[in-house]
Copies of this chain bind each other. A is one copy, B any other.
Amino acid sequence: MTKIPSGSRGGELELLRAIRLRAGKRTNAGLRVGIGDDCALIRLRGTEELAVTTDLSIAGRHFRLDWHPPESVGHRTLARGLSDLAAMGARPVAAFLSLGVPGELAAGGRSWPDGFLRGFFALAEAYETPLAGGDLAESPVALADIVLTGAVPKGNALLRSGARAGDLLYVTGMLGGAAAGLAKLAELAGMEEGRPLAIPSRDSAILAPHLYPQPRVRQGLALQRRSLATAAIDVSDGISTDLGHLCEESGVGAIVEREALPIAPAASLVQALHGGEDYELLFTARASVRVPGTIAGVAVTRIGRMTKRSSRGPAVMLSEGGRLEPLEPRGWEHFSGSGLNIQR
Contacts and interface: CB of A to CB of B under 8 A. Distances in A.
A241 interface: yes
A90 interface: yes
B51 A41 contact: yes
Interface string A117-161: 000000000000000111111111101010111101010010111
A310 interface: no
Count identical subunits in the complex: 2
Contact of A147 (B54, B84, B331, B344): B54
A90 B139 contact: no
* Residue of A39, A61, A145 with most partner-chain B CB within 10 A: A39
Nearest to A241: B7
Contacts of A66: none
8 contacts: A3-B236, A5-B332, A6-B237, A37-B249, A42-B52, A55-B135, A56-B100, A145-B145
A49 B38 contact: no
Contact of A38 (B84, B94, B329): B84
A325 to B, nearest CB: 20
A46 B48 CA distance: 9
B36 A53 contact: no
A61 B8 contact: no
A54 B133 CA distance: 7
Give the 5 A-B residue pairs with the shortest CB-CB distance, closest first.
Answer: A7-B332, A39-B51, A38-B87, A56-B135, A56-B98
Given A43-B49, A61-B138, A37 B331 contact: no
B39 A90 contact: yes
A88 B37 contact: yes
Given A54-B98, A94-B52, A137 B61 contact: yes
Interface of A: 1-3, 5-9, 32-33, 36-44, 46, 49-56, 58, 60-62, 84-85, 87-88, 90, 94, 96, 98-100, 132-141, 143, 145, 147-150, 152, 154, 157, 159-161, 232-234, 236-237, 241, 245, 249, 329-333, 344
Nearest to A333: B8
Max chain B C-beta neighbours (<10 A), residue from A36, A53, A100: A53
A157 B84 CA distance: 29
Contact of A61 (B84, B139, B241): B139
A6 to B, nearest CB: 7
A249 B136 CA distance: 21
Nearest to A31: B52
Nearest to A276: B7
Given A7-B237, A36-B249, A157-B41, A2 B329 contact: no
